[in-house]
Each structure stands twice: as C-alpha cells, then as structure tokens.
Amino acid sequence: MSAILPGGFGNFSHSEMDLLQSVLLSKEITKGASLLKPGQICQSLYFIGSGSFIQFKEKDEIDQQVIDLHVEQEWMLNQQSFVRQQPSETFIQAYTDSRVHELTIAALHELIRLSPVFFQLARLLDPTPSRIKLFDDQLSPAEKYQFILEHRPALLQAFPLKVIASYLKMTPETLSRVREKLSKA
Amino acid sequence: MSAILPGGFGNFSHSEMDLLQSVLLSKEITKGASLLKPGQICQSLYFIGSGSFIQFKEKDEIDQQVIDLHVEQEWMLNQQSFVRQQPSETFIQAYTDSRVHELTIAALHELIRLSPVFFQLARLLDPTPSRIKLFDDQLSPAEKYQFILEHRPALLQAFPLKVIASYLKMTPETLSRVREKLSKA
DNA sequence: GAAGGTTCTTGATTTGAATCAAGTGACTGC
DNA sequence: GCAGTCACTTGATTCAAATCAAGAACCTTC
C-alpha cells in the first residue's frame, strides 16, 4: 500500500506513515450505506480515499439537517460521539460509492503507545477552524456561501445545492438568491 | 492544599487528585485583568476557584461579542488556541476578582507521562455538548434562554442580562421580551 | 440630593430570511 | 414520446428579530 494518505494533517516520517497505513482498514461503501447510525458509538476515524459522505440528523419524520459534508482526501468522524464515546445522533452516509480507510480507536491507541508522535492525530478530534468560523460567528447567508466558495469549493462540485443549503442552515431559495446576487456582483 | 477540585470531570483516585493538585498554580486575578489576549497562545487550562470570567472577541471598535462565560468550579480555556497552539482571537477577562488554579500545558504533559489516567483531562479540550447544542442546532431566542435556564442557571446570577444576550447572540431587547413572555407562561 | 450613567423594559418600525406558490428545465422510465 | 420526478429559480407574502427610540428604575459620585 502506498500514499493513500496526504500530508497536511501531521508531521510524520516515512516509516511513521508506513506504520499508520499498515493499521488502516480499507473498506468499500456503496452509495446510500451508512458508516454510523444514531444510537451507535463512533469507534473509528475514516479517511476518504474516494467518494463523498453526508453527515446528517433527522429533524423530524420528514426533514433532515445536514451537519457536515465530507469529500475525498478528508478525515471524517462524529467528533462528539467518538470523543465522549456516547451514542451518535447523526448518520454518516455515503452519498456516492466510496472507499474509506478506517482507523479504529483501538488502532489509534496502539499507534500512540508505539510512538507519542501519533498524538498529533488527536487534532482530528476537534472541530476545524473552518467549521467554527462557519457556525460560531454569525455570518449572513451571503457570507456563509462566500466562505465555502473560498474554503471548501470541492463541496459545491460534490453535492447539489439543496444539500449545501441545508449544511449552511438556509433554505434552497435563499441560497439561490445569494448565488444570483453574487454572480452579477 | 485540599479539595479545590470537584469531581465530575474525571475518574481519579485520591492520590491522583493529590498529584494533580500539586502541579496546579494558584493565581489571584483582579477584576478587569486578562488571562489571555488576542495574539497570545493559550498555554494553560484554568480551574476557577472563585469569581467569574468573560471570554469575548472584539467585533469592531465599539462592539464585542461574548464567546463564553465562566463561573466558579468550572474549567476554562480557549480551546482553539490551546489545541492548535495558534494565536487567540479572544480575551479571557476577569469579570470579578477571582482565583484560578492553572494547569500549564507542560504540567499536563508531565501528568500524562506519569500516568495515562490523566488523559481524561483531554476531554476538557473539546466543546461541551451544552455548547454544541446551544450554537450548532439552531434554537430560537426563547429556546436558547430556556436552555441556559435549565443547564447553566449560574450564569444568570453571575452576569447582567446584556452580557447574557451577547453570549446567546441576540439583542438585549429580544432577551427582555423572551423573559417577559416566559414569566407569564 | 441633583446630575449622570447603567441596565432593563416597552413600543414602533424596518429588514432579511422563511414560507408559500408557481414555473422551468433536465433526467428517468414506461 | 410523454408522464413523472427532481433540482433549481423567481416572485409574493409573512414573520421574527433587529433596529430605532424613549422612558423607568437603579446605581453612582460629587
């Protein structure tokens, strides 16, 4: 196995990368299948080799709220559930046929036991600055859209606008208007 | 030194508690003084023995946005800055004369080296479920107020309503109206 | 105790996004 | 080809909270 993992999420030597990759489990996930369901406890980090995932919550019988969107070459997990080892409230569902590389919590502990260097992976357990910016600050719909345009443009390629709208916590109508305004600005 | 720390944030034996307390630095902070300023990197966790703190961001020259409120018997830090060791964007400022017990990052590492049990403290580095609920879900002003009424009532004792309003990301007028409605419901 | 400053409340108005509604274009499958 | 569905757009209306404005209650402090 070689180079399934990108740089950028840690400072690892070649041998450390090899070690890391050796404990990963490669899995194929077909479109629509779930890696995590409400009630389950998130036990793994997943690195997406290819494909895309939607993490969402059932608001009511009809509607679902998109919590996060994940595209290839990104790590993915339910942070809350993983860190506190508590039942998830969200689904993590493949939006397309996908391949993931799974790092179980046991494997993570083993890595850290072997070398404290792997401590760095713990950073994956915290919300990214990008997510914090998007939802902690209170941005206007236009600002939210511009933010992902700038910081997560891949999402716009990977998902339909109604999914993006739900992720950004606005209606599809509002997103449509924001885009229209921006396109002629 | 005895019993400055409460239970509830970890599962420690008496001797572990003693060890933990032995590495804490007790500090007095006078009203208005800052434990952390924008540009600085958050290097410590603070346990508030007595007093209260406001964590806020300068929105513009005039206004400031309250990010978090901290009262006694709680741990406090700038999670983003601490975890990523990046410059803070917030102030952590004493709202009243206070006493804190400081756990530096170096002391934390030393504790974990001595016993992996202290790993549990890492949970302090993640946003609490309470905070996530308050700002990730999109609650109405009334729901936000009811949430802190139920989950963080001490805040209402410790801070004026205009500070609470800023924390809850609503105007003081809206908070006032929410309270009025609730009081006669 | 008067003057000034806060905090909080109350009322009137504005505003921005949600909702409601309808329509277009693209694709899907019979 | 045509009905049906789905994604997206566009327009009209509604609604909730922000803003603007003013006043009441409670402080300081000189």
The answer to whether residues A53 and A93 touch, using CB atoms and an 8 Å cutoff, is yes
pLDDT at A137: 84
pLDDT greater than 70 at residue B4: no
User: Running DSSP on this structure, what letter comes out for residue B154?
Assistant: H
pLDDT at A7: 56
pLDDT at A4: 65
- Extents of the domains making up chain B: 1-126, 127-185
What angle (nearest 5°) sits at the alpha carbon of residue A36, between those of residues A161 and A163? 5
Q: How far from B78 is each of B61, B69, B82, B86, CA to CA, in Å?
A: 22, 12, 6, 10
- A86 three-state secondary structure: coil
pLDDT-derived band at A1 (thresholds 50, 70, 90) equals very low
CB pairs under 8 A between A and B: 30
Nucleotides of D under 7 A from a protein CB: 7-12, 16-21
Contact A169 B126 (CB under 8 A): no
Nucleotide with C1' nearest the B173 CA: C9
pLDDT-derived band at B116 (thresholds 50, 70, 90) equals confident
Q: How far apart are CA A139 and CA B55, in angstroms?
A: 20
B129-162 confidence digits (pLDDT tens): 889 999 888 899 999 999 999 999 999 999 999 9
Instruction: Compute the mean pLDDT over every residue in chain A, rounded to the nearest whole number.
Output: 91
CA/C1' separation B38–D17 (Å) = 31
Nearest CA in chain B to A59: B137
Q: Where are the alpha helices (DSSP H) in A12-136?
A: 14-23, 79-84, 105-114, 129-135
Q: How far apart are CA A171 and CA A175, in angstroms?
A: 6
- B99 three-state secondary structure: strand
- Mean pLDDT to the nearest integer, B46-60: 93
B99-111 confidence digits (pLDDT tens): 999 999 999 999 9
A121: closest CA of chain B, how far (Å)? 12
- Mean pLDDT to the nearest integer, A9-15: 81
B75-90 confidence digits (pLDDT tens): 999 999 999 999 999 9
CB neighbours of residue B22 within 10 Å: 10
Residues found in chain A: 185
Q: How far apart are CA B21 and CA B40, in angstroms?
A: 26
Closest Cα to residue B39, out of B92, B82, B88, B90?
Answer: B88
pLDDT greater than 80 at residue A15: yes
Quick one: CATH architecture of B1-126?
Answer: Sandwich (2.60)
- A14 three-state secondary structure: helix
pLDDT at A2: 43
Q: Which residue of A67, A68, A80, A143 to mutate against B (max B Cβ within 10 Å)?
A: A80
